[in-house]
Chain A
Amino acid sequence: MSGHSTYEPKYAAEKWIDKRLPIVRMGVDFMAFPSPRNLNYWYAFGGILTLCLMSQIITGIILAMHYTPTVGEAFNSVQRIKRDVPFGWLLQSMHAVGASMFFLAVYIHMFRGLFYGSYKAPRELLWIIGCAIYLAMMATGFLGYTLPWGQMSFWGATVITGFFGAIPVVGESLQQWLLGGYSVGNPTLQRFFSLHYLLPFVIAALVGLHVWAVHHVGQNNPIGIDIKTKEDTLSFHPYYTMKDGFAIAVFLMIFALFVFYLPEALGHADNYQRANPMVTPPHIVPEWYFLPFYAILRAVPDKLMGIMLMFGAIVVLFILPWLDTAKVRSMRFRPTTRRFFYIFLFMCFVLGWCGAHSPDDIAIPMGHGGMTFKWVSRVATLYYFAFFLFLLPVLGWVEKTKALPDSITKAIHDGEA
């Protein structure tokens, strides 16, 4: 990709191929990519996420061989996969738990990027492609959750497609067009299955662009300063393949813990009831990874405003490179911003907590009454947007940052990296 190639074909066959299609050269250069020598374990999540995507695609392709996307058979076919198909229980569990693990990893990856300023020039497009991947993941996750056709599948699909019905004038027609009918039904399920199969390959293509971009501009690092000399770098292989490999092994242990011991922990019991358009479950909640956005949606009493805020929460991520005005990338050297970042992280958890509860229930008891989840989520929503739209632009101008090290290598010798 960038930089000059170190590959020298030795054998005649290698030379022959290299002249015609330098694919081996591409692979060798990829593995020898000069990476900053101070990358910590937070940087292992790129590799972990690649593994997650591969695992989801492989298990998904197999599940599709046994799954029937019709309202009459969808629920049964998933139960059949779990009970009758050889190792179906394992593949289904890997796929369902895998979705959660994928989101867990992507959230850590994103917070890491946020903390170390990995979205700043020249990595704006890298970050934006990442946001697009996240958006595609959310769409895929939502579509996939509909497929088992349980109560949560059905009502989740009803609520989410209802968002489009809130758009003025064209909303209702648009919603019917998306559903292929007056309500969520067989046409909806079939198109959701088709798109759920398609989107992971779109994600894979976007990941290709994402990796291309990171190889073009180079990786950021925990102290956020540019690579100056060759001394500041290590070859990707074997140094970071080993480090990523270890992180992957630890991640897979957590993955396995859920797959084998807690396969239902991240799901919802209501989804073991077949979809019933006549009865809404008393308490609809999305999967855990959507809870913060669900809390933002419910924080405002107005339907259209709620949806706009929820989508706005993702839009701010796309424009983040231009919201943060600071010259210094890493929050290690931005002591004030760092504190606000930790509050931001905390508020994201608060939003998740609010999303899991009914808006009118008491979250923080005080005297006879207390603060309801609606009000807690309002405070957290306000902070979420204030962090991006007010704190990051303003702190960039007023904050006095700590002195940056001269180079990555010097920082390591001085014990700063």
Chain B
Amino acid sequence: MSDTQTGEGEHEDPSRRDFIYIATGAAAAVGAGAFAWPLVSQMGAAADTRAAGSIEIDVSKVEEGQQLKVLWRGKPIFVRYRTQKEIDYADSVDVASLRDPQTDDERFVPNFEGKINKSLLVMIGVCTHFGCIPVGEAGDFEGWYCPCHGSHYDSSGRIRKGPAPKNMVIPPYKYLSDTVIKIG
């Protein structure tokens, strides 16, 4: 038996066996990858979650000094009708001194006339530290204060003190009319 096997081995092309090994390995790798992809992908946001990603807000009822809180993608949107004092305070800040430098104007989206409405601040009311919701009209900078780990935001929602790295985020939005805003 062993003689015959050795005999056969001599006639066999060794590169053929290598080819089979590599081909099998490659097929297995592709198969594993093809199986792993759906397993990983299913964890992401589902179609219905993504479809619920935009809302319209009527801001006509917000009075000066008031804040509207609307849920968008599971997070609150702050729509604050700022007082003149708050606007002046936000403008008076030396931008270069900020952790995440942004002028007050840069935190607004122009309406259909191309003008910005600095009274109406629209932002995602989520602390950029670990996602808690800051409390309004609190903190040392005329703005918001996050109770979780003590971040202070100014009247423009910019980070001024505490552990948060970034300003509160301005969501993608546009004015559909003077009083209706579409977010997302």
A binding-site residues for B, Cβ under 8 Å: 155, 158-159, 161-163, 165, 176-178, 180-185, 187, 191, 277-284, 298, 300-304, 306, 358-360
B binding-site residues for A, Cβ under 8 Å: 40, 43-46, 49, 53, 69, 71, 73-76, 129-133, 146-150, 162-165
Closest to A159 in B: B130
| Given A177-B43, A358-B150, A360-B150: A280 in contact with B163 (beta carbons within 8 A) | no
What's the nearest-Cβ distance from chain A to residue B179, in Å? Answer: 23
Q: Do residues B74 and A181 form an inter-chain contact, with CB atoms below 8 A?
A: yes
Extra A-B contacts (9), CB below 8 Å, given A155-B148, A278-B69, A358-B150 = A155-B132, A158-B132, A180-B49, A182-B49, A183-B74, A184-B74, A277-B76, A300-B163, A359-B149
Kindly state the separation between the CA atoms of A180 and B44 in the bound complex, as whole angstroms.
5
Kindly state the separation between the CA atoms of A180 and B149 in the bound complex, as whole angstroms.
25
What's the nearest-Cβ distance from chain A to residue B165, in Å? Answer: 5
What's the nearest-Cβ distance from chain A to residue B101, in Å? Answer: 17
Closest to A359 in B: B150
Q: Do residues B43 and A182 form an inter-chain contact, with CB atoms below 8 A?
A: no
Q: Which of A159, A191, A283 has the most CB of B within 10 A?
A: A159
In the complex, which of the residues A185, A283, A303 contacts B163, with contact meaning CB atoms closer than 8 Å? A303
| Given A183-B73, A184-B74, A280-B148: A162 in contact with B131 (beta carbons within 8 A) | yes
In the complex, which of the residues A165, A181, A282, A302 contacts B131, with contact meaning CB atoms closer than 8 Å? A165
What's the nearest-Cβ distance from chain B to residue A416, in Å? Answer: 50
What's the nearest-Cβ distance from chain B to residue A46, in Å? Answer: 36
For B46, the chain A residues whose CB sits under 8 A away are 180-181, 187
For B43, the chain A residues whose CB sits under 8 A away are 177-178, 180, 191
Q: Do residues A182 and B129 form an inter-chain contact, with CB atoms below 8 A?
A: no
Closest to A176 in B: B45
Kindly state the separation between the CA atoms of A279 and B71 in the bound complex, as whole angstroms.
11
| Given A159-B131, A182-B45: A277 in contact with B74 (beta carbons within 8 A) | yes
